Amino acid sequence: MHTRNATEECLAVVKDMQKGKLKGVFHCFSGDEQQAKRAINLGCKLGIGGVLTFKNSGLDKVLAAIAPEHLVLETDAPYLAPVPFRGKRNEPAYLKYVVEKLALLYAMPEPEIAAICTANAKNLFGF
């Protein structure tokens, strides 16, 4: 779900429609900690991309309270390239910068973060 400037509204719709069968991704998640927890409790993952690497995004503080088992990686290509490519065309190869930031945030090795997020995506999409 693309929820830009409408996270509360989307959470309300998912809550109303959730009958134990809905699942999905809050794309380019940029909400607060409570919104993150509500999305997770509704059976959704949080899509994390280049915004995490932006100096003033605050997403790092939100994710500090969220286990990596609730995250999937996304590029939003061609938009929202991570630092050091901010403002340029985004591409999948830049996910490594998002993984680096998550590894620092969770004090985990990069391969472990990548494996967790990959497993989350495979589970979510039935692979």
pLDDT tens digits, 58-67: 999 999 999 9
Domains in the chain: ranges and CATH: 23-125 (3.20.20.140)
**How many other CB atoms are there within 10 angstroms of residue 49's CB atom?**
26
The first and second tokens of residue 61, run together, are: 């503080």
pLDDT tens digits, 68-90: 999 999 999 999 999 999 999 99
Res. 9 pLDDT band, cuts 50 70 90: very high
Which residues on neighbouring strands pair with residue 25, listed in sequence order? 45
CA distance linking residue 98 with residue 73, whole number of Å: 8
Indicate if the pLDDT at residue 20 is higher than 90: no
